[in-house]
Structure 1
């Protein structure tokens, strides 16, 4: 929601974003849930059931409902947010505008943390907060924020850091189920400085410390999720060292096929600032159509081919064309994916859906991402 992304009318955008999320969660998600329930109840298979009769064993075809499961997550570009238990936001720097967003979100999320950070000459020169916010349907048991020790450029006046939370999911047979949720926003435009790598190392240290401090006997940790705007992608040559950071060995990014290579189904999440106001992508449907077309996606989304991440190389990145002005399609065109949702490997989850969401067009310069996953419940004797 920040005003530093070529988008103005922040108050209007804050209200619009809140209204769309509310509508998606209350109306659209409910409608989809009913349709899916109806669809799954109608899916049957013919199985051979044996039963014993006086005349002996017979066989007959009996309709029987079976669960439909997929080994691989379903991936899609969608125009509405699916039902979300947690919503993580970055760049909510301005308190008054953030309160406008919160006024909408609190209708569906009873627990919301915002206006997080330290304000001091040592942390942010008394400038902006971290901009981090988390909305949760579940009670928050513990919370902590730590600012990053290294930063440069514009981020020196921003209190960026890691927001850490423990949530209570429920209790069964005396065993409490809990989850850990971490939200962050890493250094932007670091140039040749190793700032992002330093911040990712601090993430590994702080998430481990937070869990060690708040793990309790009789609790079952069902998930450990790290998400946020990392301001790096997995495929740009100039960011290869960060793509190979130890963090990606501890946490899994299902969009990555390997360091330096994303799965073919991924799309970029950072729009070209010079084209944000184009009418073709000013609606959720228009932006979805652009992301699904390789040529249009490369036209509107930044390429994953950066050599050095600077303000000029990102904000002024030109669309690649030939001498006749025709777009030259690239395998990494429109695929700078900097917004991520990761799960920690020692708390594995089964990812059911991963979505790139266009619901907020044209109110943000990023493509939100959503991950739906299944958690193992604690075993009872």
Structure 2
């Protein structure tokens, strides 16, 4: 009991504002943390302007190709399967194109911030889709099945490892739209094998089995739809076309394959090789940073811990590139874009995001490497912008 109640009450009243002020300050800090409130910087304005311009270019290219592009032989076969007017089929690709861009941005932002996501969106326009003389792809609207499969694969990469079942279902549907996308299944399973146990809510074996089941159900459903649509004879013809690379055939020499690959990037082969060398060096640096920096939740042997440092979505994307590259190298095909369209659109743009991650780290090493990183980033921006302008002009030329 207080001996002097009136004095104590007076003291509490006098100290009230002092006590309340820190509480209000802490509340304001908490609200600022929750709402993400911060001052807008010139870099924020630059990013908003850049992303708005890039999305406007994407939309312009899409609309121009959808309206002006002639029907290619590959597109004619797709239209015969789905039995839709060309205008309707091309318009239906637009939401999937938006899904592809959104997924690439999310993966790139996770890797190295928002500018890495911007780089991934820019890299989608780096590929010359018209590189195959016999089977050109004029743009996303004319590549219905391949572009839809690419969008679903990119979304599946972005969903790993948390929403594994949804990722498996999307990858299964992708294989129904474009058969080569089925090569991504082993890549996803290996990615889950390398995922840290802390990110899985069940034993690893059950996780992999559940993912395979989630992939198999929509894949089988899509085949049932094709069977009902085409009939047994049509379905067998389609399956025979898909299985053609598995039959004995002549394989292109390795140098000829490389010539076809480097001819698909808008520039002369020598310029393309030079740019690709710097791109892969910077991307390798960005990837190496994952393996060199320990994680807090690491468990297992040394090799297992190192492998688990690389994010599951990126494991799936880059293993898909490896598997599709091996398949195309053995297929004997002289077309490089159309057979590999899903992986080219969904996975290869992430190499640019990794290159930005590597250059971003080099900026912090010392002055020499910072200068190298600045020169590389300037060259990357110039090269990608040039490729964007070429793609934009091509969208109106037929």
Whether TM-score is above 0.5 comes out as: no
- Which structure has more RCO (C-alpha within 8 Å, separation ≥ 6)? 2
Identify the structure with the greater strand proportion. Answer: 1
Q: TM-score, normalised by structure 1?
A: 0.29
TM-score, structure 2 normalization: 0.28
